[in-house]
Structure 1
């Protein structure tokens, strides 16, 4: 904090610094005292130079009070300093027109804000030069909830001069509150904890919800990304924009609430001709797309989408997913599988004629899918082959060891009849069974990985064929490693245990290390594969709530 304040304090144009360096250097002891909260040093400076109480001691026009509040080192320092200053001095501005209360709100120094407001209440209504912001705005934008709640409790809503909650001031405050996710209770009305600051503001000033700022931003769009409840007095065209914004962002709760309030919004399309389900397909928002399974017969109509370029819903599914959605799935092969799942799901819902429907570029949906996913197929093939090669080496080594172990059994064989020396020991039976399972499973694993390496890698293979082979290969490899370790542990006990049971404890503990390592390193991938291939999937009816 101190370094940042010093950085801010030293920022100025070369010309201004050239003229004022001598004055600022004179205030260096006071600047350091303010940053450190050293009241004794500061008081000594004020005794020698009373004008220093209100002097600009940095080229950013900061006073000692500004620096003390922003550093947050000592609230006692701030209190004593404010006691020495006349009330009107608390309205002195630093750069960008920020008063001491602006600084307290910006840094979330609530205790300092209380001291300032009690001595100079009108500081609440002084606006900065940047966007004419009140201290309220700084607290909301800075993410300081406690400070914002305090300032709300002491700000007069009907102040005739500043009009803090009128447009555009109120619209900016609402935007900052929603953007900072301030959903705590308002100290002004003291509602139950579940009430929201943003909702409280909109409830008292409904016009703020749709009011645009100078730069085109407005709280409604921000709400669409973060909230599921909105005031019902907004016009339909605003709700339409809200619906399509929430599609895009995958917030199905917002879509449900909006359509329940304004059912006609469901039938509207954007400038490109997409309805909410078309956008859900483009942006791969399965939560919104799954609302179609909660619809009545109207869901067929929702799939009759043809945009301005003659793309059907299936053409849209053929496009490559946005990178932020692809990256949610680990590995290029699983990403390709997820893309195929989207395409197949949409294909099952559209009419048969749409499967052969050509867009403006004379492309069938399958052609769009192939063109868009060409690079992903190549990356998926490389990922699969690299994984298979690594596992093939491990499977081959285990198979070799397991085969050699069964020939050279522990303890050797009886020279007379060739029967193993430990053939009647229980540990020997465990060794034989474990070694046999290890050999068979490692061989099976080896064959699966070899089949992956020699696969043709067609697009459709990534849906079931290749993931299934990789699942079988990893499961059998895990089994072969486990049984190999078990066979080795049995051998240790047979050869060195001499029927001492305590030997089993360190052997078992050591045997768990490689097995646990495999689980931690490879098991997450195996879980993802099984879940993505044989799990319930991401599509389907998720709620019994009727959606239109």
Structure 2
């Protein structure tokens, strides 16, 4: 067999692609490529005939490779006697990695120029490279096995992706990189709507190609917060894909849509495929579990000032048709990128969006509860229904808990194995609205009497546990926190049978003993807080007493030297001064006495329930009143003395009121909070009607 030299000479990595293609073609034509491509070891000299045949073909193939190399590249393989090793050496030296099968691998140096051009968006340079190397359009051009379309899509160059899509085949668009991502997967992750549209215009099957054992493109888009792109991909995703593999992809989509508040997608998907409510997502979560976390998607999870509540209540959504209408209304409202001048418009838009989210959440929950109400125990376990109820109770998601247990009241036992019910969790996490549901049940005595199997705690023991910090953060001061804890304990105690009060848990403690042990540190903190507050206020009250007492004997204008009566005795403003002075003196004295009573209190647990808060309320109220009366007396006295010099006394009165006003503003919220906590009707709704 005669071998002829190849005209293409290998100089460096710039022409390696063309050289390798031509040499490979020539070797195949001469039946020599098998020597280069072979992965098994050559025959040994013991097998003389086979060895001689292999040696001859190896020499012929090696000669072809050698004569087609330039001086520099020949020096790299001059000492090599194996054609296969020579080929791999050249591939490794000029491309950065060895090719065991004789193919041209991605991530090679010859594609560096193309890779760089695609990254910076230089289509002219990329086009010139592709003209010289047409096969590069489908090659893996980076060390991460990315094709040209991958690189352009990841960089976000829409115009380049459009050009590349025209040049490549539909099948090539489905090539995955080393992470399992197609170009569409990168576009979905980055939220590039136009690139996704372009890719799907060439190959609609890309919509169902998942990342290796991972999410499909629509899930990637929603997971990364690209809701508009997610809606576009969702419309194009066939239901067959979402229902395949026991609904894994559909459940993943549903979970991700709920978690990222694409509630319109979630609602439509549940309506189309109700069984997805029980399907598990790839990571093991379920749609119901995702919704249980979303407290702010329900009305009970928000707090609005009165004018926002009024606007919120005036927005009505009564049908599914109103959803799109409301969405269009939201889009027309100003508020995107708002500045200080249009914050009110932004606030109104936020209320519209909130109302829409609440409507969608309620509809979604209603659809799920319809499925749950007819499901068996195995389906509920698979769909993590019990976990979802427990989580919603911990989060304080009232609407979620109420709708589900209303569909099936037996679901109040969210953990049958441990005999735990939703009211145990509600008490432990201090969610009064959820606990109030117990008043709508006939079996509340049974629920209070139930004991968990691990710690042997009944419901009253749960009330004796220290509340989580998240439940106490909204309560100012350790004393009020201690008061709230006592209120919870007393409320549960009021509906507990007598035997529950004496029941011993695993630690051998009754509920009351358990409460005392867990709240000892809080009681000490509450005592210190009360003493510190009372001490500060006592100093202020005593100062006012001193000033007001002295003011009576140094009245404005002085006294008549003949009869000792004040000179301004018959002026009406003088009588105002005297009355204000007396009121300030008496109220400040009362305040000091109340605070002294706090300082000398015994600080027993029961004192924090009403005794200590009542003394603090009276003390603060009389202190504030004495400050107001003192300001009145000061202003009146100043006016009596300088009534003809208004330009002096008016600004002086204003300046003098600043420190006192600041003191009132800082302490007045405490008074309001304490009064609400002590004298409000109750933190529970005892008038709850039967709800099933």
The one-character-per-residue Cα deviations of 1:472-526 (angstroms, maximum 9, x if unpaired) are 12212212222222222223322333175x7776466546534542343222222
- Match of 2:233? 151
The correspondence of residues 131-142 of structure 1 with structure 2, limited to 5 A, is 131-142=213-224
- Match of 1:441? 587
The one-character-per-residue Cα deviations of 1:310-340 (angstroms, maximum 9, x if unpaired) are 4332222111112222223222111111110
Deviation at 1:539, TM superposition (A): 1.0
Corresponding residue to 1:103 among 159, 163, 186: 186
Alpha carbons 1:124, 1:155 under 8 Å: kept: yes
Q: What is the RMSD of the two structures over their aligned residues, measured on CA atoms? A: 3.4
- Match of 1:12? none
TM-score by length of 1: 0.81
Alpha carbons 1:252, 1:288 under 8 Å: kept: yes
Does residue 1:122 correspond to 2:205, yes or no?
A: yes
- Match of 2:691? 547
Deviation at 1:390, TM superposition (A): 2.0
Deviation at 1:457, TM superposition (A): 1.0
Deviation at 1:429, TM superposition (A): 2.8
Does residue 1:369 correspond to 2:515, yes or no?
A: yes
Alpha carbons 2:436, 2:688 under 8 Å: kept: no
Alpha carbons 2:642, 2:649 under 8 Å: kept: no
Give the number of the structure whose alpha-carbon radius of gyration is greater.
2
- Match of 1:179? 259
Deviation at 1:55, TM superposition (A): 8.4
- Match of 2:270? 202
Unaligned regions of 5+ residues in structure 1, if any? 1-17, 35-41, 185-196
Does residue 1:314 correspond to 2:460, yes or no?
A: yes
Matched position secondary structure for 2:460:
helix
Alpha carbons 1:318, 1:368 under 8 Å: kept: yes
Q: Which piece of structure 1 moves more, 248-257 or 81-90?
A: 81-90
Provide the C-alpha distance between the structure 2 equivalents of 1:265 and 1:141, rounded to a whole number of angstroms: 31
- Match of 2:91? none
Indicate how the Cα distance of structure 1 residues 215 and 430 shifts in structure 2: closer, same or farther if over 3 A, else same: same
Alpha carbons 2:277, 2:286 under 8 Å: kept: yes
- Match of 2:77? none
The one-character-per-residue Cα deviations of 1:394-423 (angstroms, maximum 9, x if unpaired) are 222222222222222223222222222333
Indicate how the Cα distance of structure 1 residues 22 and 467 shifts in structure 2: closer, same or farther if over 3 A, else same: farther
Alpha carbons 1:110, 1:147 under 8 Å: kept: yes
Does residue 1:429 correspond to 2:575, yes or no?
A: yes
- Match of 2:317? none
Q: Which has the higher contact order (CA 8 A, sep 6+)?
A: 1
Q: Which piece of structure 1 moves more, 522-531 or 266-275?
A: 266-275
Provide the C-alpha distance between the structure 1 equivalents of 2:489 and 2:653, rounded to a whole number of angstroms: 49
Does residue 1:232 correspond to 2:383, yes or no?
A: no
Indicate how the Cα distance of structure 1 residues 119 and 426 shifts in structure 2: closer, same or farther if over 3 A, else same: farther
Corresponding residue to 1:113 among 189, 193, 196: 196
Provide the C-alpha distance between the structure 2 equivalents of 1:521 and 1:382, rounded to a whole number of angstroms: 19
Indicate how the Cα distance of structure 1 residues 386 and 216 shifts in structure 2: closer, same or farther if over 3 A, else same: same
Q: Which piece of structure 1 moves more, 23-32 or 504-513?
A: 23-32
Deviation at 1:453, TM superposition (A): 1.7
Provide the C-alpha distance between the structure 2 equivalents of 1:63 and 1:380, rounded to a whole number of angstroms: 66
Provide the C-alpha distance between the structure 1 equivalents of 2:555 and 2:407, rounded to a whole number of angstroms: 77
Deviation at 1:47, TM superposition (A): 5.2
Does residue 1:217 correspond to 2:285, yes or no?
A: yes
Alpha carbons 2:369, 2:403 under 8 Å: kept: no
Does residue 1:343 correspond to 2:489, yes or no?
A: yes
- Match of 1:301? 446
Indicate how the Cα distance of structure 1 residues 46 and 302 shifts in structure 2: closer, same or farther if over 3 A, else same: same
Corresponding residue to 2:678 among 526, 530, 533: 533
The correspondence of residues 258-277 of structure 1 with structure 2, limited to 5 A, is 258-266=404-412, 270-277=416-423
Indicate how the Cα distance of structure 1 residues 401 and 154 shifts in structure 2: closer, same or farther if over 3 A, else same: same
Alpha carbons 2:111, 2:141 under 8 Å: kept: yes
- Match of 1:393? 539
Deviation at 1:466, TM superposition (A): 1.2
TM-score by length of 2: 0.65
Alpha carbons 1:402, 1:435 under 8 Å: kept: yes
Provide the C-alpha distance between the structure 1 equivalents of 2:396 and 2:376, rounded to a whole number of angstroms: 21
Provide the C-alpha distance between the structure 1 equivalents of 2:469 and 2:553, rounded to a whole number of angstroms: 53
Provide the C-alpha distance between the structure 2 equivalents of 1:61 and 1:487, rounded to a whole number of angstroms: 85
Provide the C-alpha distance between the structure 1 equivalents of 2:514 and 2:415, rounded to a whole number of angstroms: 23
Alpha carbons 1:167, 1:208 under 8 Å: kept: yes
Deviation at 1:463, TM superposition (A): 0.6
Matched position secondary structure for 2:199:
helix
